Chains A and B, each alone.
Chain A
Amino acid sequence: MSSIPIRPISGALLAAGAALWLTPAYPHAVCGDRVFPATLAIDDPGVLDELTLPTVSWVPNNSDGAHEWDASFSWTKTITPALSVVIGSGPTWEHPGSYGWNPLDTEIQYQLLCVPDAEFMMKIGFDVTWAGTGTGMFAASGRQNTYSPLVDAGLGFGTLPSSLKYLRPFAVTAEFSTSAPGYDWVNGTPYVTTFNWGFTLQYSLPYFSSHVAEIDNDFLKHLIPVAEFAFQTPIHNGGAAGQSQTGYFQPGVVYIADKWQVALEAMIPMTGATGHGAGVIGSLDFYLDDIPNRIDEPIFPHGFGIAPGI
C-alpha cells in the first residue's frame, strides 16, 4: 500500500504552484524507479490509496485440521500524502467447524522514508484489532483488543552496476511487528503475544522491460514473480496457550496493470503447527490514486506542516 519537474518567466508562478501538488504524494508504492506491488503475506512498504477486494484463500488442513476458506477486504485511505488509515475485515469458513466474521482491523500508517536514488522506502504503522466486533466463531475469542506496532521496508536492486544489470529487477521487502493483547490473562485464559516477521523476494519484469531490455510480449512484461515468507512466533504465553511458531512459504506471481493488479500464490506450510497440504491465495487490488474518483486524493493534500508529508 504507497512513494510517489518548467521554464520561462511567464511560467514561474505556475511552476511554483504546480510543485506543491505534483511532488508530495507517494502514489502507490513507488520510490524512484521502483514500483513495489501489493503482496499477500506481508504489506508493501508504501502509503497509498488502495482497495483490496477481495483477498480469498483456501487451505486444506489448517492448524485445527479443518478445511478453511477466508475472504477479506482492505481499504486504505490517505489523510495526508504520507499518512493513511486502513480498515479491513472478512469472513472465515471452516469445515468441520463453523463460520464467522473476523474482528474489525484498523491501522494507521506513516511513510517514514523514500530514498529515490536507492529505491528504498520504509513505513511504520500501528494496527488495532478491535474486540467485540467479530461474529460467529470469532465472537467469543475477541474479548480484548490486539495492538500491533509494525514496520515495513523495501529495497530495489536498481543501483547495481551495469555488469550485474540482469539482477537490477530484483527487490526485497520485509515486515516486522508484534501483536500484543491488552492483557496477558483474562479469567485464567492466556493471551499470546507474537512476533510477526516476513519478507519477499521479487523479480520485476516491468522493471526489466523498461530498464534492462525491452520485452515484446505485452503479458509477460506486466508480471512480477514473487516468493513470500511469513511467520508468527509466540514470544509470551505461547507455552501456556499451547501455541508454537506458524508460517507459510508463498511462491506466486503478480500481474500489475496501470490501475489494478491481481496476485496468485501457493500457501505452503513451513511448520507442523501451521497445518498440512498446500493451499492457495489470490487477490484483486485497485490503485485508487490512479483511478479518478471521488476519493482518490489525500483528504489534506498539503498536510499540516507537522512532519514531512503530514
Chain B
Amino acid sequence: MRNLSWKIAVALAFVFAAAQAFAHAQLEKATPPVGGTVASASEIRLEFSEDVEPRFTGLTLTGPGGASVPLGAAKVESGDQKVLIVPIAKALAAGDYTVRWHAVSVDTHHTQGTFEFTVKP
C-alpha cells in the first residue's frame, strides 16, 4: 500500500510538473457591475480570472429595444492582461443594456457570458 501511495505521488508530480496559472477565463468583476445601475458609462471593463488573448476576446453591447451600441477597439489593460477594456463610442441613454462577451484565455480555452446593467435617467 505504501508503495502504491508513492507511485500515485510520483504520477501526480509528473502530471503537474509544468503547472502554471492557466485555465478558463471566467468573469470576476465588471464595470458597470453585473446587474447594477449606473449614472453613466464611458467604457466596459471586464476583469477575468486569467490572462486573455485580446485578438480573440471582445464583447457586444445592446441597449433598449435591442439596438446595437457602437464600441471602440477592445484592448487589455497595460500591465494586466486579465483586464479587457472596451470604450463606448457615445453617451448612453437611460435604459437597460446587455453585454455579451467572449474570451479566449492565453492557453486557448474559450468562455462566454452575458449580463445586464441599467443606466438610470
Contacts of A6 in B (CB 8 A): 55-56
A293 and B15 contacting across the interface, CB-CB below 8 Å = yes
A239–B32 CA distance with the chains assembled, in angstroms = 63
Q: Choose from B23, B104, B112 the contact partner of A259 (Cβ within 8 Å).
A: B23
By beta carbon, the residue of chain B nearest A73 is B8
A258–B23 CA distance with the chains assembled, in angstroms = 6
A162–B114 CA distance with the chains assembled, in angstroms = 12
B34 and A293 contacting across the interface, CB-CB below 8 Å = no
By beta carbon, the residue of chain A nearest B49 is A258
**Contact flags B9-42 to A (C-beta < 8 A → 1, else 0):** 0001011111110111011011001111000000
Contacts of B104 in A (CB 8 A): 5, 22
**Contact flags A245-267 to B (C-beta < 8 A → 1, else 0):** 00000000000001100000000
B18 and A214 contacting across the interface, CB-CB below 8 Å = no
A22 and B16 contacting across the interface, CB-CB below 8 Å = no
* B57 located at the interface, meaning its Cβ lies under 8 Å from any Cβ of chain A in the complex: yes
A290–B55 CA distance with the chains assembled, in angstroms = 21
Q: Choose from A5, A210, A211, A294 the contact partner of B110 (Cβ within 8 Å).
A: A5
Contacts of B35 in A (CB 8 A): 165, 212-214
A258 and B108 contacting across the interface, CB-CB below 8 Å = no
Q: Looking at chain B, what size class is its interface with the partner chain?
A: 35 or more
**Contact flags B60-80 to A (C-beta < 8 A → 1, else 0):** 000000000000000000000
* Given A33-B114, A211-B114, A212-B35, CB of A291 within 8 Å of CB of B16: yes
A11 and B110 contacting across the interface, CB-CB below 8 Å = no
Contacts of B56 in A (CB 8 A): 5-6, 18, 22
Contacts of B18 in A (CB 8 A): 292-294
B22 and A294 contacting across the interface, CB-CB below 8 Å = no
B108 and A21 contacting across the interface, CB-CB below 8 Å = yes
* Given A5-B102, A258-B24, CB of A33 within 8 Å of CB of B113: yes
Q: Choose from A7, A25, A290 the contact partner of B23 (Cβ within 8 Å).
A: A290
**Contact flags A183-221 to B (C-beta < 8 A → 1, else 0):** 000000000000000000000001001111110000000
Contacts of B29 in A (CB 8 A): 214
By beta carbon, the residue of chain A nearest B12 is A53
Q: Choose from A21, A214, A258 the contact partner of B30 (Cβ within 8 Å).
A: A214
* Given A206-B26, A213-B34, A292-B19, CB of A27 within 8 Å of CB of B109: yes
A22–B33 CA distance with the chains assembled, in angstroms = 29
Contacts of A210 in B (CB 8 A): 26-27, 30, 34, 113, 115
Contacts of B108 in A (CB 8 A): 21-22
Known: A4-B109, A22-B110. 6 other contacts (CB 8 A): A30-B24, A210-B34, A213-B33, A213-B35, A259-B23, A290-B22
> A residues touching B (Cβ–Cβ < 8 Å)?
4-7, 11, 18, 21-23, 25, 27-28, 30, 32-33, 35, 51, 53, 116, 158, 162, 165, 206, 209-214, 258-259, 287-295
Cβ contacts A to B, 7 pairs, < 8 Å: A6-B55, A30-B111, A35-B24, A210-B27, A212-B34, A293-B14, A293-B17
